[in-house]
Structure 1
């Protein structure tokens, strides 16, 4: 059992508090990433989709994903651990720091290549809320009419770090 923390960073222009819409622990949020089998090293050709609402009940507990490696047939699980995610602030962005989003308890698989999708939110430094931000193309550009300034999200990066 290894816990991997998904961490993100981005360049935020006139924005702060970038996070998935509804917060990091929103049960309707989908997390997309590839999985690498810890036994044979085979990577899934398609991204796995994890959601807090998707539960598989097994023996003594439950998990969010049960998957079998197509190459070696080893079964693995991924369970989401809530409560450790935070929004990316403008100050963190300026210094290139990463912020945690979600922790995944992985047995038999390692998460790789997180994909940013739609349904993100951020606040302009002037107080305007931007909802439904689509980051699947790697950037977001708009204009804050209330604050009379351009807003932008670029240079998106995500990593998985082993945590306890």
Structure 2
């Protein structure tokens, strides 16, 4: 059993608290990433998606997991289970220092997550307090104008990594 903590960072201009629409433990937020087989090293061609509110029986049928699938190359079973409660929004202070914010913890058995894809369903707020909802980061950036705060806001240079945690 290996746990991987999804860490995100970005350049934030006049904006802070970047996180999934319903918060870091949003049960409906979909995480997209590729998986690397722990047995043969094959990386999935398509992105895999997992959400907290969708569970399936594990391969052995003893418990529930968020994803259970076989490697297409070597046919070995693997699972990915999400562990909520470890995520925090990416603040402007973290972004300015180049630090990453933890988003979600994944318990991976037989697989290793790689290549997180930013998609839609994010929220953030300007430093003046204006809330921005349903942000789509699939193009790699977001820019808007905060009418209330009279300043441009921008999210760019998105980065993600999976850190092994014990």
TM-score, normalised with respect to structure 2: 0.97
How much does 1:81 deviate? Answer: 0.3
Cα deviation per residue 1:22-61 (whole Å; 9 max; x = unaligned)? 1111111100000000100000000000011111124332
Aligned to 2:147: 145
Distance in 1, matches of 2:69 and 2:19, equals 28
4+ runs deviating over 4 angstroms: none
Aligned to 1:115: 117
User: Are 1:31 and 2:31 matched, yes or no?
Assistant: yes
Q: Secondary structure at the match of 2:94?
A: helix
More displaced 10-residue stretch of structure 1: 107-116 or 54-63: 54-63
Aligned to 1:13: 13
Distance in 1, matches of 2:57 and 2:76, equals 19
Distance in 2, matches of 1:24 and 1:115, equals 16
How much does 1:138 deviate? Answer: 0.3
Q: Cα RMSD between the aligned structures?
A: 0.7
How much does 1:2 deviate? Answer: 0.2
Q: Secondary structure at the match of 1:27?
A: coil
Q: Secondary structure at the match of 1:72?
A: coil
Aligned to 1:73: 75
Cα deviation per residue 1:116-137 (whole Å; 9 max; x = unaligned)? 0011000100010000110000
Matched residue pairs, number? Answer: 164
Structure 1 portions without partners, runs of 5+: none
Q: Secondary structure at the match of 2:39?
A: coil
How much does 1:66 deviate? Answer: 0.3
- Check the 8 A contact 2:57/2:68 in 1, yes or no: no
Structure 2 portions without partners, runs of 5+: none
